[in-house]
Structure 1
């Protein structure tokens, strides 16, 4: 019986193609000069990786310039795993033998395909793989798929976690892309830490009760919910010695953080998509079959934590019970106060006001991918939502462009093929 994550909109495509001059409905803004890349799992023909998350990484790219869509192409990330190398052998762990299937970012003119279990892979602007990146031998742990670039300094903050000590390591690369700091962060045990956050003065850690369990490998990924582990959020000063102040919170799990910031009183405010225990457990079972967290979040909601260092207390509130995932912001506001955030839910793209949690909705007639914000003029001051949202609707073979201010439909780029359900994408301006 064919696994459900190999069927329907999840079914992998069998090959790499390249086409020029794509059809456009509407008018593409002339300011959109660059490339949209999206990453996701895509096993080779005939392969069953045993879990949706384990398929080989495939990048899909669309080139926009001067109001035209010049090309579409897709390429497997040519990793050690794709070549058949084992991740774990008698000689140890090979951090290059990974899928590189989760995210794709650009930092210091280097484009990296990411997965949290190992090293990033560098690719070029045409999606060809250049090789694994260990920052000149300085990166000896895995690298999260959700690093944070500080828009004020250009530094890239990230971490690695693992099932063997050190369980959590913080890393910082400077604006030139050189890894300049690595610091072990003590935690009680090996957990699945998918995301984190930064603020102006802090690194924000999510130490949550989904733990490594080797016996779970038969189900695809060796992680399970542990009622005994507890749940807490930590804030670590960016200029300190690695000491973390922890705040206990209600048990939950977080795949993705929208943003974190400091308010006028010095409190740390975190907005993220939160899963209570029962909802997470059911979702985790489904992901091993066919549930895309973005399309079938099943009860996740936009949540806020306010951590007060003065009192040592954590306040929690549900901002919206709509099931959403893949929260995004204008990345120029990372770690700073932001007025808007975007998310996807079912067949909707949602825009939130962070002060009121009021929502504006755009219907997509198909499960939308993560909505990536592109500013109209990246170097100029202006309204935070002055720009566009790009979302890949794979089942419709469409890259949709919305006006971020009112979510009106600006244009659609018609792709030459269906794009399988996947994870994260980004816009790389020329």
Structure 2
């Protein structure tokens, strides 16, 4: 569709829902890959042209692996009121059930949740059918971020809800059984866009960038760059009484959408990293998202990895750009979430001049080395999801799962890379070219006998 890059090329929406079984596997799938890779994307229905990429309805894509086989692929729209045109803003205020639900998908306490940051999460079945909105038994009093964090030590789910209107920021913790144990307003927050956050062993870390509420924005996503909006990092002690101890630290202008990780170092300082854009980088991305891109540009063309070191004792922040490669969608071995990690991964993008190309990147934060698995001509990989190997002894003992869209072949495949060297191990041929999307999760089987194969091959149910 002319003028709408998010409806063309790698981002061309799927027009229907299908189920296919008995997928072709190249190479050998490791037996510990027994579970489901589920990935989310913005995918408007045929005939619908959203005014912003983020306003496209959610569609989840699932791939079921077991015992070295790829048992099924299926895709389903997340069936919320918004899918059928229900408005988000009503005469009673926002309808938090009218979700696009197209940003992320996670599992917590046995519930599969499709997420978008302006709404309640939407529960799905194991077969990706929609159950309905989930408000944690009425204890969720705001929208929920698309980027909750599961503490690998406690199993708690930490998340927030942000709004362009007061209260600007709410913070919640749910226990391993899915019950919210505490939630409160975070003092001192503003209407700055807060898409992601970070968790350390002892702190919650919020980032307010130079993008904030803009009532003049007509795309339906009311945010824009504003030089008068101070960029800040908020550091809050974990726990039900953390609000009293939050501190805000000024940083240089910019906007970080996704945090790679945060941790306390040996000196007690908090180290935070994530891809960040400057004003021009945000302008280029925003123009693409609203369908008015600069020639040859696409999102993330000026997104560079940034590191902030917050010295709580001195009350200061040191910051630096640590790499010159355009990247987004950082991931890591989530056993190290909140702790000092050596390795992190990302998707690389060409810069606005076409240099760099698509690929999967591995950073060694100890040696400073950068390794890139190049995707190849006209191939775009999705966010690389880390899965630990059986009996892993090193941080990078494991696999990276990424869905690669191939425009030349009009096809997609699930690519399994060795996380240590980025060498391909196996690939699963998918029955369609999967729309380029945003985030997803690997959900291992809790019960190896669970989830029997359902639906005939190629059926469109």
TM-score by length of 2: 0.90
Give the secondary-structure state (helix, strand or coil) at the position aligned to 1:394: strand
Q: Which residue of 1 aligns with 2:222?
A: 222
* Per-residue CA distance 1:364-409 (angstroms, 9 max, x = gap): 12111100000013xx561111110000112341110000011100
Q: Which residue of 1 aligns with 2:43?
A: 42
Aligned with residue 286 of structure 1, among 280, 285, 288: 288
Rounded Cα–Cα distance in structure 1 between residues aligned with 2:298 and 2:266? 36
Rounded Cα–Cα distance in structure 2 between residues aligned with 1:241 and 1:55? 36
Distance 1:49 1:296, change over 3 A: closer
Rounded Cα–Cα distance in structure 2 between residues aligned with 1:312 and 1:384? 32
Asked whether the equivalents of residues 320 and 357 of structure 1 are also in contact (C-alpha less than 8 Å), the reply is no
Q: Note the residue ranges of structure 1 that are not aligned, 5 or more in a row.
A: none
Rounded Cα–Cα distance in structure 2 between residues aligned with 1:241 and 1:424? 29
Matched ranges for 1:108-257 at <5 A: 108-187=109-188, 189-216=190-217, 218-239=218-239, 240-242=241-243, 243-257=245-259
Give the secondary-structure state (helix, strand or coil) at the position aligned to 2:437: coil
* Per-residue CA distance 1:204-246 (angstroms, 9 max, x = gap): 0101121111210x23421101101111111100133403111
Which runs of at least 4 in structure 1 moved beyond 2 Å after TM superposition? 1-4, 186-189
Give the secondary-structure state (helix, strand or coil) at the position aligned to 1:325: strand
Q: Which residue of 1 aligns with 2:262?
A: 260
Structure 1 position 296, deviation (Å): 4.4
* Per-residue CA distance 1:96-130 (angstroms, 9 max, x = gap): 00100000011111111000010000111111111
Structure 1 position 188, deviation (Å): 5.1
Asked whether the equivalents of residues 220 and 288 of structure 1 are also in contact (C-alpha less than 8 Å), the reply is no
Q: Note the residue ranges of structure 2 that are not aligned, 5 or more in a row.
A: 350-357, 446-461
Give the secondary-structure state (helix, strand or coil) at the position aligned to 1:164: coil
Distance 1:124 1:352, change over 3 A: same
Asked whether the equivalents of residues 284 and 298 of structure 2 are also in contact (C-alpha less than 8 Å), the reply is no
Asked whether the equivalents of residues 304 and 323 of structure 2 are also in contact (C-alpha less than 8 Å), the reply is yes
Structure 1 position 290, deviation (Å): 7.8
Structure 1 position 7, deviation (Å): 1.6
Asked whether the equivalents of residues 146 and 194 of structure 1 are also in contact (C-alpha less than 8 Å), the reply is yes
Aligned with residue 403 of structure 1, among 404, 407, 418: 418
Residue 388 of structure 2 is aligned to residue 375 of structure 1: yes
Give the secondary-structure state (helix, strand or coil) at the position aligned to 2:84: coil
TM-score by length of 1: 0.96
Aligned with residue 373 of structure 2, among 349, 355, 362: 362
Structure 1 position 61, deviation (Å): 0.4
Aligned with residue 336 of structure 1, among 321, 339, 344: 339
Rounded Cα–Cα distance in structure 2 between residues aligned with 1:111 and 1:295? 31
Q: Which residue of 1 aligns with 2:437?
A: 422
Q: Which residue of 1 aligns with 2:324?
A: 321
Distance 1:332 1:110, change over 3 A: same
Rounded Cα–Cα distance in structure 1 between residues aligned with 2:56 and 2:164? 21
Give the secondary-structure state (helix, strand or coil) at the position aligned to 1:283: helix
Aligned with residue 360 of structure 2, among 322, 339, 349: 349
Q: Which residue of 2 aligns with 1:309?
A: 312
Distance 1:335 1:290, change over 3 A: farther
Structure 1 position 282, deviation (Å): 2.1
Rounded Cα–Cα distance in structure 1 between residues aligned with 2:313 and 2:114? 40
Residue 85 of structure 2 is aligned to residue 84 of structure 1: yes
Give the secondary-structure state (helix, strand or coil) at the position aligned to 2:272: strand
* Per-residue CA distance 1:293-350 (angstroms, 9 max, x = gap): x974212111111000111110112111100000000111110111100001132100
Structure 1 position 187, deviation (Å): 3.4
Distance 1:148 1:318, change over 3 A: same
Structure 1 position 87, deviation (Å): 1.1
Give the secondary-structure state (helix, strand or coil) at the position aligned to 1:321: coil
